Homo-oligomer: A and B are copies of this chain.
Amino acid sequence: MYTKSELEQFVKQAKQYARYGKVADYIPALGKANPNDLSIAIYMPDGNVIDAGDTTHKVTLQSISKIIALALVLMDRGEQEVFRKVGMEPTGDPFNSIAKLEEVQPAKPLNPMINAGALAVTHMIAGASVTERFERLLQFVRKLAGNPTITYSEEVAQSEFETAFLNRSLCYFLKQHGIINEDVEELMDLYTKQCAIEMTCDDLARIGLVFAMDGRDPFTGEQIMPLDVARICKTFMVTCGMYNASGEFAIKIGIPAKSGVSGGILAAVPGRCGIGIFGPALDEKGNSITGMKLLELLSKTYSLSIF
């Protein structure tokens, strides 16, 4: 199907768009990224992998972690409990908006991909302590990626912990309305660590493959998450995985995907492949501009749209 040389050609084409984007710089660690970096890995169910660019480069998950935490929490708590605390509707508002929370009665984040919803999800990760809950999440990530060495960036976690005023604002709003009831600083500790988990685009691709295969790891044969959980996650990836450009992404590319401000994208083409991308040049909505271009080229060339 895909060849490495073709992929390298696509990467070259997509890189030309790097100049229209810029790297996130709200914390120093992200600001150091090179906007011209672009790497991709594609995992097939048969074990084939093709990649291009510097695939040893590690990227922090940031918002990509939202979809993984959601999967874990759906397994920990069940659909019903999760959706009592967070909605299922996409929104045209930016990811960090608080306004919608006020309008909706009872106050409940519209979906688990906006920050307010993601904080409610992370709040629900089971465990006796932040340490235990984070350890459980990390083990889950390692199993999904088939890589026991994955860990998190203490520097990034620390930086975000120190500056995440808006997320604290959202947490206290959620606490006021009974959506969360733990100590906000503890939740922020857990959440910033979750966002700072780092991996290569190769790892991302393999996680994407598990979602693509309905929760089953084709290499080990293990059903890591139930089919329903994988399906729910892919649905959210389509309706709200790319911030408030999700609708446009669904129209133009049509692949379930989740992006992060670090420039990472995790994509899952149902039944066909998992894709991991790292391209830190972001457009004004916070998505990797080169990564989206790359996915568009792949989707158009190989008809990857689910629609």
Q: Could you tell me if B238 and A173 are in contact, using CB atoms closer than 8 angstroms?
A: no
Residues of B close to A173: CB separation below 8 A: 98, 165-166, 169
Range for the number of chain A residues in contact with chain B: 35 or more
> Known contacts being A238-B307, A306-B306, A307-B231, is A247 close to B103, with CB within 8 Å?
no
Instruction: Report if A172 contacts B (CB, 8 A).
Output: yes
Bound-state Cα–Cα, A169 to B166, Å: 8
Proximity string of chain A (236-249) to chain B, C-beta cutoff 8 Å, 1 when within and 0 when not: 10111000111110
Q: Could you tell me if A235 and B256 are in contact, using CB atoms closer than 8 angstroms?
A: no
- State the oligomeric state as a number of copies: 4
Instruction: Report if A87 contacts B (CB, 8 A).
Output: yes
Residues of B close to A232: CB separation below 8 A: 251, 307
Residues of B close to A244: CB separation below 8 A: 89
Among B165, B176, B247, B307, point to the contact of A88 (Cβ < 8 A): B247
Instruction: Output the nearest chain B residue to A167 by Cβ-Cβ distance.
Output: B172
Bound-state Cα–Cα, A40 to B234, Å: 28
> Known contacts being A251-B232, A306-B306, is A98 close to B102, with CB within 8 Å?
yes
Bound-state Cα–Cα, A90 to B305, Å: 18
Q: Could you tell me if A90 and B238 are in contact, using CB atoms closer than 8 angstroms?
A: no
